[in-house]
Structure 1
Amino acid sequence: MIKNYIKIAWRNIMKQKVFSLINVIGLTIGLSASFVIGLMIFYDTTFDNFHNDGDRIYRVVTNFGSPDGDDYNSGVTLALEDAIKEDLNFEIISGFYIERPAIVENKDNNSEFKWPNFVVYTDKNYFEIFDYNFLAGDEVEVLSKPNTVILTEKRAADYFPELKPAEVIGKTLVYNDSLQITVTGIVENFKQRTDVVFEEFISRPTLLQTRLRQDVLNKNWNNTNSASQLFVKVSESANFETIQKRFDELTLEHRSEDAKKYNNTRTFELQPLSDIHFNENYGIYDWSKGQASKSLLTNLALVALFLLVLGCINFINLNTAQASQRAKEIGIRKTLGSSRKQLIGQFMGETFLLVFLSAILSLLLSKWLISVFSDFIPEGLEFELFKSPIIILGIIILLLIVTILSGFYPALVLSKFNAVSVLQNRLSVGENKVKLRKYLTVFQFTIAQVFIIATLLVGKQINFLLSKDMGFKTNAIVSVYSPRGEREVSKKKIYAEKLRGIPEIKGISIGGNPPASFSTSTTNASYVDGDKEVTSELQFIHGDTNYLDVFELNLLAGRVHRNDTVRELVINETFGRILGFQSPEEAIGKNVVLSGENIPVVGVMSDFHQRSLKTGIEPMALIGDWYRPRFSQFQALHISFKNESSEGLKRTLTKIENAYKTVYTEVDDYQLIFMDETIQQFYSREEKVSKLLNWATGLSILISSLGLLGLVIYTTNRRVKEIGVRKVLGASLLQINTLLCKEFLILVAIAFVVAVPIAWYGISSWLQDFTYKTGISFWVFLISGSAMILFALIVISAKTLHAANTNPVNSLRSE
């Protein structure tokens, strides 16, 4: 019987090739999107789910509050660990310090490794919280002595490529030319997905031999560094309210006088291990992989859901529309004894066959989609993940759900026909079924229309962001950064002199970060005017006396600082207004208090945007390199060009790199960043959203148009004789086309009316994240609506004009 059902199902599919193809295309698009996006959701939600008692492992993080806003830090003060060691709510406490050595040497084979990643100073408690598999070495006295290190299998292979793990034990590595550290253990790298990516574990007592010695000994409560991290494993009976209360008591007990004065707050919180992968406030340890976003995954899941629903709607519409064509088959089957249950089973089998065929095509298409959506696909996700048993089970369940959604209602409609009425040719199409098809068509085009409007408005906002004047020069300007860890200003000056000999270069400035960057240097500042005191956060940018000229920042009053090390401020307009000055000139000569020291304001520069236009302009000051000779804030040379042509710029960049190599002869980490590329990176997420909407719009229009085309084909085929009669009676081609198009265009117009408030609300909510935003223009809705109606008209007319052009003799011959 099953074999017979499959044969009949295949014959019906092949008999209605056009409708079957429309159904398969719609379902394939929806399933492909669901497969790939489902794979992404599975991949990102299964990080660090393999640790023993992982639900009891937390990272302690720090939140800061001030009148100017909130800030988040993944680290804690070094003093916190000692303060909570005796807390009974914590089963294990493990503090560690992330430190990147400048160089690690293996003297045995004369190899050296510069700036290795994922190096931490920690103790045995770390290996009690995270269960590593030891491949070699002492598992009892783990990191108990100074100058010892445990390596992962991968890092050991980098340092000692010719040796097996057991042979590495006892070997010596030299860190930063001075620290001789012995390898005491080799552990296996985690095989499952994890954000705990550390490769090198140095014993914590070794910190006393590094530049961090004073920080470790003093353990200042008011010093919070993201490198100082703390993990805890809470007891099974832990009371989280009690833990938080203890944290709050500690912050109040150790609140500084400055924090009280400036109304700043600090809180410690427990961050679940599973939250690290998604929480952008605190970040992950391997920034090169990019932070996962729950909101992005949610949006992707909604896109997949909508596309899948659109494909199911096509199936329902076309199958119910064609119900009358299979009426005689159903009548004969019922006469021969088929029950309604058997008929439903047969039609559901046909549906599953189409869904299964679509699934096969979707799997083939998914491999291509993974490369197309590379901006959304997390690094490490591969097509082979489809072999995972849970993914296979999920696909099977999805196919069953799609089969039921697509086929159950048409199966009920088809199996409900009365055998006597069918065989006597007294079958009529129910009004409710026609209404359902209309509702579903409106729903389809509403989704497509929402996507179109959203795509246009998001594109308009992104264009506004990228084209808006930032307040300083952003094109034809680059920053060349010094080698990592190099703080000799003299070398930068030598490099600058060499660059001044290049005729294509317009200006050069030695400084810190450019005016707009991802880095922030902030302090508290105050200004006393008689009995009145104004306090505010103040951000710094560091630059020499050429900084303003290179970036074409306007100096509104006063002058720049006299030299690099003099303590003078060039503030922006915003900071001047906060301090109460009515004009830039009024601020000149006034003193701002920084860390108890009076610093004179010698200049006022025009406002500019330091970040993306999501945020407003912050109070800022340009300063020199105040902390010499202890260390230098100057880490880059900023270069502007005379010739902005692509060919000229390319030649100039080659000269800049060649000059760099003559100054820094022993390094190979040349780093050059274009200012306009940095600005574009501010909006990388928005550009991803735009790309996602472009795809969603195109695919939803394709699915909806195919469904519309199917309904038009069915309708015109049923009205062939009517069209012939009308032509014989003198109806023109335009009149017939208008008659056939009118019903469908009304549905598209209704969809537009429904879509407008939905799209407006969604985009309005999205734009709330931006301090500076474009307006929601009426013309966008008008263009999108007109485009959708025009597109639908083209799809409909493609078939209706063909039907209207048919010779009426052919259609009326049998009458």
Structure 2
Amino acid sequence: MFFNHFKIAWRSILKNKLFSFINVIGLSIGICAAMVIGCIVYYDFSFDNFHPDKDRIYRVTTEYKSKEGEFSNRGVSVPLMRTFQEGMAGVEFAAPFFNTSFAKVENKEVGLKFKNVDNAILADDAYFQLFQYEWLVGDSRTALSEPAQVVLSQKKAEQYFPHIKTTDVLGRTLLYNDSIAVKVTGVVVDFKENTDLNFNEFVSLASSKMFNGRDIATDDSWNGTSSGDQLFFKIKDASSIPIIQARLNTLAKEHKNTAPWAADNERLFVLQPLSEIHFGGKNGDYPFNNSEHVASITVLKSLAFVALFLLLLGCANFINLNSAQALTRAKDIGIRKTLGSSKKQVVRQFLGETLILTAIAAILSLFLAPLLLQQFADFLPSNISLSVLYSLKGISGILLLIIGVSLLSGFYPAFVMSKFKPAQVLKGQFTKGDKGVRLRKTLTVFQFVVAQVFVIATVLVAKQLHYVMNKDMGIKTEAVAYVYLPWNDNSESKKERLFTKIKELDGLSHVSWGNNPPASNNVSSTMLTYFKDGVEVHQETEMLWGDVNFLKTYNIPLLAGRDRLNDSIKEYVVNETFAKALGFQNPSEVVGTFIKRDTLQIPIVGLMRDFNQRSLRSGINPLALTGDWGNRNYSSFQSIHFDLGGNAEHWSNTIKTIENAWATVYPDEEVEVQFMDELVEGFYRTEQSTVQLLKWATGLAILISCLGLLGLVIYTTERRVKEIGVRKVLGASLGQLNFILCKEFLILVGVAFLISAPISWYLIQNWIKDFAYKTSLSWWVFLASGLGMLLVALLVITARTYRTANINPVESLRNE
């Protein structure tokens, strides 16, 4: 019986090649999108799922609320770590650690040196109790119990000791930062599954004072928080969570910052499950300092909706075309029922046909999926692959997808056809009725609503991206570059020598000392106090370090006052937003006033024009430009900034000359010349990936919709061939015939536009509200998108109706 059903289904598919082709293409596009997006979603949800008791592992993060807004920090203060270690109700044990890096690690035995080593942490034995590693050598209970101990990952051990067996590494010594001898006490296997815990070097927490002068046992600063200071712990059971959170709330109140400027500020300690860490928490922060990718629940939901709608479009095509073909299949069904087929057998027969077509579409999708994934390679982590599709989980998912799509696509047409009455069908008295026509019209409108929403969204998102990327940020970004000096080399003579070499190069318009560029993802701020009418006004202010040429390098004009007299004098140049925040109606009046920083009275000598410090998602914050005087122990000038000038032909040679100058001063260090325009472009990576996604979703949605429309047009015109012949005999022109055939379909496309326009406006309005600077949602975008879709539909319809209208009436009426 099964083989017979299969044989008949295959014959039917071959008999209707064009409609089968349209159905397969529509379904394969939807299934392909589902496969690729499914792999992306699976990848992000697979992080750190392999840890034992993962549901009982939590991290504490810090959230701040002030009049400037809300922000979070993935780290906590050191005394809170100590409080957890000393014991807390509901906590089984705590495992704090510190992200760290080393300027140099040496294996003196064989003369190997490694510089700028990262992906390391300072931890104790509790870390290995919380996160289970496979130990090749060493004891997890004592490996980090004493100062000057280190546990290496297998890959790191092979790097430091390339010609030694792993079992022989135990007890050997590494020299850190030229002077700190550390003994290897263990080697662990690197995690093979996806994880954000990409650490490969674990130094004992008892060594922290040797490396950075901090000691978890004596640090009492409750108000100092670093994102690298992490606190993980394991709860006893789910009932412990409210107890722990209540205790954290109490600690936050007990240790509130008592400084006057912090009176209205609030700090909260928040619990974060291990399963949420990969998604960056409330503010989309990176899980750890060494993380390269932060996932977004919002983006993953958007991807899932795109896949769902593309699947639904393919299913709508199938339902439309198969229900439209009901008349051509009616006699077949009538004969089957006359010969004894039951209603269930007819349903099974047509579901079998659907299953075969869906299976073919799924096989085709497996070949298309790598091509689709490749289109998003620039915006996805490099280790995302389609390998999960070929695993047991993937194969099971594909089979469920095939069955689900087959039922969704094939059940209604099969149900409709199974209701045909043999007597009426064989007498030619069967009529399709209005119900089927209404369904086909509804599905056609749905397809074009989805396609139209994608079109409008793509245009408006691209319009916003073009606006923010081309809007004047208030600073010079083209042909301006900078290099950071080696953080582990504090030689003032080398710094000055490199600066002099760069300054003397031909072709550079301006060269200046600084730290971070004016627009950057790195933010440093402080609290400044202004006395107004006997009242203290506290203003949190972003700090920018630069010499007296810094403003000229970035073409930031002074609106009032002057620049600082030299690079070390205690003077500020502030922006307009800072002046307005202090209450000055005329910002230039801020020049000549004094600001208090801690105990220092610092004059404001200049007012610079406002510029955007980050992407145009955020507004302009109060800002002060200062020189190199804030820190006694180290220089705030850690980078050299330069304007490459207006002659683009010389830029590449100038960069090479700068790299050669660097090599003469820092021969053992790599140089990285960074460009402002690339930095600004990086602000909008998410938006760029969104546009890329929407372009592909739009193209695929239009393709599916137009294929479905073409199928309906072919079916309709074939059914009306004799009608067209009669009209031609009666004198109808080619244009009139095309209008008659196109009118019904164009009305459906027009109705789809009227539905899609408000939906698109609502969705884009919600998306664009996160930007401080917005492009207008121009009416012409909606109109142009609607007319464009109407034109595409018209071309598809006309391509078929024109051919039908040109048929000789003699041919179409010969059987009458």
Q: TM-score range by the shorter chain?
A: over 0.9
Partner of 1:31: 31
Partner of 2:536: 533
> 1:792, CA displacement in angstroms?
0.4
For structure 1, the 5+ residue unaligned runs are none
The equivalent position to 2:662 in structure 1, one of 660, 663, 687, is 660
Contact 2:143–2:149, Cα closer than 8 Å, also in 1: no
Partner of 1:650: 652
Partner of 1:112: 113
Q: Deviations over 1:400-424 (max 9, x none)?
A: 1100000000001111111111111
Matches within 5 A, 1:81-160: 81-84=81-84, 85-160=86-161
Question: CA distance change for structure 1 residues 463 and 237 in 2, over 3 Å: closer, same or farther?
Answer: closer
Question: CA distance change for structure 1 residues 313 and 766 in 2, over 3 Å: closer, same or farther?
Answer: same
Question: CA distance change for structure 1 residues 462 and 526 in 2, over 3 Å: closer, same or farther?
Answer: same
Matched, 1:514 2:517: yes
SS of residue paired to 1:142: coil
In 1: Cα distance, 2:297 partner to 2:489 partner: 39
SS of residue paired to 1:38: helix
In 1: Cα distance, 2:215 partner to 2:437 partner: 80
In 1: Cα distance, 2:711 partner to 2:122 partner: 66
Amino acid at match of 2:693: L
In 2: Cα distance, 1:301 partner to 1:434 partner: 31
In 2: Cα distance, 1:792 partner to 1:190 partner: 53
Instruction: Give every structure 1 segment of 4 or more consecutive aligned residues whose post-TM-superposition deviation is greater than 4 Å.
Output: 259-262
Partner of 1:293: 296
Amino acid at match of 1:657: E
> 1:257, CA displacement in angstroms?
2.1
> 1:545, CA displacement in angstroms?
0.4
Q: Deviations over 1:553-572 (max 9, x none)?
A: 01111111222222111000
In 1: Cα distance, 2:104 partner to 2:553 partner: 35
In 2: Cα distance, 1:380 partner to 1:207 partner: 34
> 1:484, CA displacement in angstroms?
3.5
The equivalent position to 1:314 in structure 2, one of 313, 317, 326, is 317
Q: Deviations over 1:581-621 (max 9, x none)?
A: 23344222211111232111111101111111111110000
SS of residue paired to 1:506: coil
The equivalent position to 2:414 in structure 1, one of 411, 415, 432, is 411
Which is worse superposed, 671-680 or 529-538? 529-538
Partner of 1:346: 349
SS of residue paired to 2:526: strand
Partner of 1:474: 477
Contact 1:492–1:637, Cα closer than 8 Å, also in 2: no
> 1:214, CA displacement in angstroms?
6.1
Which is worse superposed, 109-118 or 701-710? 109-118
In 2: Cα distance, 1:458 partner to 1:443 partner: 22
Q: Deviations over 1:284-342 (max 9, x none)?
A: 22655311111111111100001000000000000010111111111111111111111
The equivalent position to 2:591 in structure 1, one of 585, 588, 591, is 588
Which is worse superposed, 627-636 or 174-183? 627-636
Contact 1:311–1:703, Cα closer than 8 Å, also in 2: yes
In 2: Cα distance, 1:51 partner to 1:288 partner: 19
Partner of 1:15: 15
In 2: Cα distance, 1:323 partner to 1:585 partner: 79
In 2: Cα distance, 1:95 partner to 1:513 partner: 30
Contact 1:289–1:379, Cα closer than 8 Å, also in 2: no
Partner of 2:180: 179
Partner of 2:558: 555
In 1: Cα distance, 2:255 partner to 2:535 partner: 28
Contact 1:489–1:634, Cα closer than 8 Å, also in 2: no
Amino acid at match of 1:129: L
Q: Deviations over 1:59-88 (max 9, x none)?
A: 111112211111211111111122232212
Contact 1:102–1:116, Cα closer than 8 Å, also in 2: yes
Q: Deviations over 1:700-726 (max 9, x none)?
A: 000000000000000111111111111
Contact 2:574–2:607, Cα closer than 8 Å, also in 1: yes
SS of residue paired to 1:117: strand
Contact 2:91–2:240, Cα closer than 8 Å, also in 1: no
Partner of 1:634: 637
> 1:474, CA displacement in angstroms?
1.0
Partner of 1:76: 76
Amino acid at match of 1:166: T
Contact 1:133–1:187, Cα closer than 8 Å, also in 2: yes
Partner of 1:483: 486
The equivalent position to 1:447 in structure 2, one of 439, 450, 455, is 450
Question: CA distance change for structure 1 residues 488 and 577 in 2, over 3 Å: closer, same or farther?
Answer: farther
Matched, 1:392 2:388: no
In 1: Cα distance, 2:349 partner to 2:583 partner: 81
In 2: Cα distance, 1:443 partner to 1:136 partner: 62
In 2: Cα distance, 1:521 partner to 1:137 partner: 42
In 1: Cα distance, 2:702 partner to 2:373 partner: 22
Contact 1:197–1:286, Cα closer than 8 Å, also in 2: no
> 1:164, CA displacement in angstroms?
2.1
For structure 2, the 5+ residue unaligned runs are none
Q: Deviations over 1:148-176 (max 9, x none)?
A: 11111121111112222211101111100
Which is worse superposed, 166-175 or 84-93? 84-93
Contact 2:129–2:140, Cα closer than 8 Å, also in 1: no
Partner of 2:704: 703
Matched, 1:62 2:62: yes
Report sequence identity in percent.
48
TM-score (norm 2): 0.97
> 1:261, CA displacement in angstroms?
4.5
Partner of 2:815: 814
> 1:757, CA displacement in angstroms?
0.6
SS of residue paired to 2:643: strand
Contact 1:195–1:286, Cα closer than 8 Å, also in 2: no
Would you say how many aligned residue pairs link Structure 1 and Structure 2? 813
Matches within 5 A, 1:128-527: 128-213=129-214, 217-236=218-237, 238-258=239-259, 261-280=262-281, 281=283, 282-285=285-288, 287=290, 289-527=292-530
Q: Deviations over 1:493-517 (max 9, x none)?
A: 3222222332211111110111100
Q: Deviations over 1:223-260 (max 9, x none)?
A: 11122211111112643222122112222222232166
Q: Deviations over 1:186-232 (max 9, x none)?
A: 11112222111111111111122223246763331121112221111
> 1:376, CA displacement in angstroms?
4.4
SS of residue paired to 1:268: strand
Matched, 1:680 2:692: no
Question: CA distance change for structure 1 residues 35 and 59 in 2, over 3 Å: closer, same or farther?
Answer: same
SS of residue paired to 1:118: strand
Contact 1:752–1:785, Cα closer than 8 Å, also in 2: yes
Contact 1:767–1:773, Cα closer than 8 Å, also in 2: yes
In 2: Cα distance, 1:106 partner to 1:236 partner: 45
Amino acid at match of 1:649: W
Which is worse superposed, 372-381 or 17-26? 372-381
For the aligned residue pairs, the C-alpha RMSD in angstroms reads: 1.5
SS of residue paired to 2:306: helix
Amino acid at match of 2:723: E
Contact 1:487–1:635, Cα closer than 8 Å, also in 2: no
SS of residue paired to 1:622: strand
Amino acid at match of 1:224: T
SS of residue paired to 2:539: strand
